[in-house]
Chain A
Amino acid sequence: MKKYIFVILTIILISGCTREERGQLTQRGHEICSAWNTAVDAILTDDVNPAFVLNAWIISDEAERYIIEDRYFPQYKIRQVDATTYGLYKGAEPYSTINTHGTHITDEGAVWTVTNHFGYSYAIFPIVEEDRTVSITNLGNDQWAIALDSAGFPQSVTHWTLSLERFTNHCSIFAENFTLSGDGAFAFPVDSYWEMQYGSTDEPVMQHYTLERPMQNDANDGNKLKWEDGKLSLTVSHSGYESVDVVMEVLAYFHYGITYRGVTEVWDRIGDTVYYE
């Protein structure tokens, strides 16, 4: 009997012990940089790159178009809406609308406008309330200006220059070495739990950032962003709170040095770890 009592008491006492690990010290900085990276990835992957791929599709013959559709738009149908506008459709719903303004994206001075109708549904990228519009302007010399027009949260802006090393495939930018330079700001609304505890607010949390060293994409299979170099400096701010500075330096693919509150650590991934309810 004593043995059973001992066993029961041991189970009871052991079940009461828990422990949380301290984890990496720059965890908060990693969350902040992940949100930034996810936002950038969304703009480049869902808005900018489809424009370049569409440009390739427009100038291709029918056989090549099938190849492009299969490779880059397997889930979408391309439909010409009017003389200068094309839509990417998922079923009957337009996922995004791309206005070429009658130009090729490779024409110097060309301005393309991409309107992402599902931009707002990116729970992790709540910088617009409804459609997310990105303008792509050809500056010549394989350089394009990328400007975000977020009507819902006008605080979100991008002043980027996308520079392709050489635009050989004339299709996906991810299949090329390119750099992204510039600065901007992203606005992230606070969530309902936060408002419940600290008061309702329309003011988003801001990320003001500068690419101190251009972010460099390593050419890959053409479907994903692959940072290989670059340095990001950003400041998070919201009225009533002391702002926070974070620096992220891409040391190599899968090596991200993040500095937060004076501590620098290396992480092996960035992005896809932040969600918004």
Chain B
Amino acid sequence: MLNMMFLCGQAQTETADWQQQRHDLQVGIGTPFVAGLYVGNYLHYAGYGPLWWIPSNQAGYWLGRDVYRGTSFISPALSVSYRYQVARWCKVGVTLSYAGTYAAVFDRVTNEKVGRVDDHLISIMPTVQFLWLHRKYVELYSGVSIGYSFSTGPYYDEMLQKNIVYTEHYCGFQVTGIGVKAGKKWYGFAELGIGVQGCLSAGFGYRFNNNSNN
């Protein structure tokens, strides 16, 4: 708390003119853990999940084709964000993020490839950021985003024995505990938090003003 007060005090005495670069566009890449939970939820019902695995041991599934996922890949959580600085200590904006899982599905007995299980989680979220420190080259901040997410993609249905395309809807979120930006117009950033953009994320961005003189 003392630290925050100290940093806020410093922010108050900051002389940089934040109004010169109120627009902020950034792209980021993050760990997909939470995104994996979202898409994994659906796979759980299908009997084979990417993050945990529960055998499809209900009697109804005994008559289905016994399948398993091959090597799968969960993409990093990719995001594009735009923010507008409304005050020295506050930015608002919107974030678009994507994370996906991709895997082939194989018959367990014959090892024949029978289908796919892919999930694409897309989120669009209004965002607000609170700056603790706003200096010429460094910013420290926290933030929160809450919005709409949906996942879609094919999965192999072992009872119907064919690929089905599904869509699920969720509440998307991202809470950034602490973030740091370094740079002036072009900057790099790293964040620790939790949500669809990742627990650990990093990337780069560009600050600009709609006034061409800046």
State the A residues within 8 Å of B (CB).
1, 4-5, 8-9, 11-13, 15-23, 25-28, 31-32, 35, 188-191, 193-195, 197-198, 204-205, 236-238, 241-244, 260-263, 273-277
Contact = CB atoms under 8 A, between A and B. Distances in A.
A193 B190 contact: no
Nearest to B49: A20
B148 interface: no
Contacts of A241: 63-64, 159
B57, B59, B157: residue with the most chain A Cβ atoms closer than 10 Å: B59
Given A20-B69, A22-B108, A23-B68, A12 B58 contact: no
A196 to B, nearest CB: 8
22 contacts: A5-B202, A12-B198, A12-B200, A13-B76, A17-B71, A17-B72, A18-B50, A18-B73, A19-B71, A20-B48, A23-B68, A23-B108, A25-B108, A190-B58, A193-B45, A197-B157, A236-B63, A243-B63, A244-B62, A244-B63, A260-B109, A262-B109
A12 B76 contact: yes
A22 B29 contact: no
Contacts of B188: 1, 5
Contacts, number: 122
A244 B158 CA distance: 14
Contact of A12 (B31, B66, B68): B31
Interface in B17-66: 29-33, 36, 45, 48, 50-51, 53, 55, 57-64, 66
B68 A21 contact: yes
A4 B202 CA distance: 11
Interface in B159-199: 159-160, 188, 190, 198
Given A11-B31, A20-B72, A198-B159, A277 B57 contact: no
Given A17-B73, A22-B106, A23-B108, A12 B30 contact: yes
B133 interface: no
A138 B45 CA distance: 47
B57, B106, B198: residue with the most chain A Cβ atoms closer than 10 Å: B57
A26 B62 CA distance: 12
Given A197-B45, A205-B59, 20 more contacts: A11-B31, A12-B76, A15-B32, A15-B33, A16-B73, A19-B71, A19-B72, A22-B106, A22-B111, A23-B68, A25-B108, A26-B109, A32-B62, A194-B60, A198-B60, A198-B159, A205-B62, A241-B159, A244-B63, A276-B59
B72 to A, nearest CB: 5
Contact of B58 (A15, A26, A276): A276
A31 B57 contact: yes
Contacts of A262: 109
A140 B109 CA distance: 46
Contacts of A205: 59-60, 62-63
Given A15-B31, A18-B50, A198-B159, A189 B59 contact: yes
A276 B62 CA distance: 13
Nearest to A29: B66
A208 to B, nearest CB: 13
Contact of B61 (A13, A194, A242): A194
A104 to B, nearest CB: 39
Contact of B72 (A18, A35, A273): A18
Contacts of B75: 16
